[in-house]
Amino acid sequence: MSATATPPDTPSPGPSLLAAAAGGPLLLRQLFDADTGTFTYLLADVSSRQGVLIDAVFERHDRDLSLIRELGIDLVASIDTHVHADHVTGSWLMREATGCAIGLAAAAGAENVTLPLRHGDRVVVGGRALEVRATPGHTDGCLTFVLDDRTMAFTGDALLVRGCGRCDFQQGNAHTLWTSITEQILTLPDACQLWPGHDYTGRGATSVAEEKAFNARLGGSATERDFVGHMEAMQLPHPRRLAEALPGNLRSGKPREAVARPSWAPLERSYAGLPELPPSWVAAHRASLTLLDVRSAEEVNGPDGRVPGSVAIPLAELAARLEELPRDRAVVVVCHSGSRSALATQQLLQAGLPRVANLRGGLSRWAAEGYPLHTSAEDHPEDHHAEHTA
């Protein structure tokens, strides 16, 4: 599988992936979409920095991409356990952003898949791999991804915590699901951790031993007949987003129309949730922006210097001095590190300013990347009042 280049505006210096992985050889993050109860998983091999995203959600793309970039992960693939009926996959957006492969069961016949997956395939992630197991029954294309050492498996909707996916549409079949679960999942070691595709009541993970004992539909002494009887008696409403999700997923999440991105700047949302811009873009577009410096007057006029032409309003005074900001220009907020300016960015967005972003990494990164700062000896700012000389 081809590796992708690190994006040019990756935050730097990045944190140690080893530290993010708590010192272990693998990083696993479980992400959640509360709107649909969907779990997305980011799994990365620490030594190679390669990673894979499992069951990404379209609407959570910015969040997932921020985490991947902040951790400096080289995403090799965005893979789905099945064609979802309740949400649209984020795979196509992720491929657009990172160049990663799009993986899905070949049996699904979806467009834009670059890594069609079949039972027995391996999805290689650096020095590790996920074994692909066909586990149909919820849909006919369901896959379970089993880590090479069988310590964890991503079961999609084949097996959920104390439950399983429905079998009443999308070529579902309770007999088939019984066979998949009992032959492909519950035959894994008892200690194998199982990571489900959904949960609606706050249960994040389970294990083979637990589901063998306690799964409400197939655990304990339940037989295939008990299981099928249970599944066929269930009367569930169809997922509310079915009409949109199925065709969207059969395009791997490629929108019918171009995705509307904010037009004024190549904004990237941090994992903390704020719009950010890199110093390179801000420097190139400075003349058309208001640069708002929210440091104290002492800092602005001190030896660190300031960006020539920036407007200085200390963070503590910002709420009372909003009218000093020109409304016809986009605002990029700066401070020493990007921390106080993050708070100011939030305040300005809440105050209804339409075009606001934080300078990623603050003035320390601005200076480190070689962009100019002037000290008050060179530039003559008015200490306490907004000014604009650009």
Q: Return the bridge partners of 128, or none.
A: 125
SS (H, E, C) the chain: CCCCCCCCCCCCCCCCHHHHCCCCCEEEEEEEECCCCEEEEEEEECCCCEEEEECCEHHHHHHHHHHHHHCCCEEEEEECCCCCCCCCECHHHHHHHHCCEEEEEHHHCCCCCCEEECCCCEEEECCEEEEEEECCCCCCCCEEEEECCCCEEEEECCCECCECCCCCCCCCCHHHHHHHHHHHHCCCCCCCEEEECECCCCCCCEEHHHHHHHCCCCCCCCCHHHHHHHHHHCCCCCCCCHHHHHHHHCCCCCCCCCCCCCCCCCCEECCCCCEEECHHHHHHCHHHEEEEECCCHHHHCCCCCECCCCEECCHHHHHHHHHHCCCCCEEEEECCCCCHHHHHHHHHHHCCCCCEEEECCHHHHHHHCCCCCECCCCCCCCCCCCCCCC
Nearer to Fe ion, 14 or 37 (CB): 37
Nearer to Fe ion, 108 or 277 (CB): 108
Q: Phi and psi at residue 106, in whole multiples of 5°?
A: -55, -35
Nearer to Fe ion, 157 or 293 (CB): 157
Do residues 103 and 121 make contact, with C-beta atoms less than 8 angstroms apart? Answer: no
Q: Does 80 bind Fe ion (CB under 5 A)?
A: no
Nearer to Fe ion, 157 or 268 (CB): 157
Q: Does 211 bind Fe ion (CB under 5 A)?
A: no
CB of 276 to Fe ion, least distance (A): 34
Nearer to Fe ion, 76 or 167 (CB): 167
CB of 259 to Fe ion, least distance (A): 24
CB of 43 to Fe ion, least distance (A): 20
Number of residues that bind Fe ion (CB under 5 A): 1
Closest chain position to Fe ion (CB) = 157
Which positions from 123 to 162 touch Fe ion by CB under 5 A, shown as an x/- string?
----------------------------------x-----
Nearer to Fe ion, 169 or 271 (CB): 169
CB of 165 to Fe ion, least distance (A): 5
Q: Does 74 bind Fe ion (CB under 5 A)?
A: no
Nearer to Fe ion, 74 or 157 (CB): 157
Q: Does 293 bind Fe ion (CB under 5 A)?
A: no
Tokens matching residue 90: 């984020």
Tokens matching residue 88: 């649209």
CB of 82 to Fe ion, least distance (A): 6
- In whole angstroms, give the CA distance from residue 194 to residue 181: 12
CB of 198 to Fe ion, least distance (A): 7
CB of 44 to Fe ion, least distance (A): 25
CB of 197 to Fe ion, least distance (A): 6
CB of 172 to Fe ion, least distance (A): 9
Do residues 324 and 386 make contact, with C-beta atoms less than 8 angstroms apart? Answer: yes
At a CB cut-off of 8 Å and minimum separation 6, what does 176 contact?
136, 137, 140, 167
Nearer to Fe ion, 177 or 344 (CB): 177
- In whole angstroms, give the CA distance from residue 202 to residue 160: 12
Q: Does 33 bind Fe ion (CB under 5 A)?
A: no
CB of 173 to Fe ion, least distance (A): 14
Nearer to Fe ion, 80 or 293 (CB): 80
Q: Does 55 bind Fe ion (CB under 5 A)?
A: no
Nearer to Fe ion, 95 or 166 (CB): 166
Residues that bind Fe ion (CB under 5 A): 157
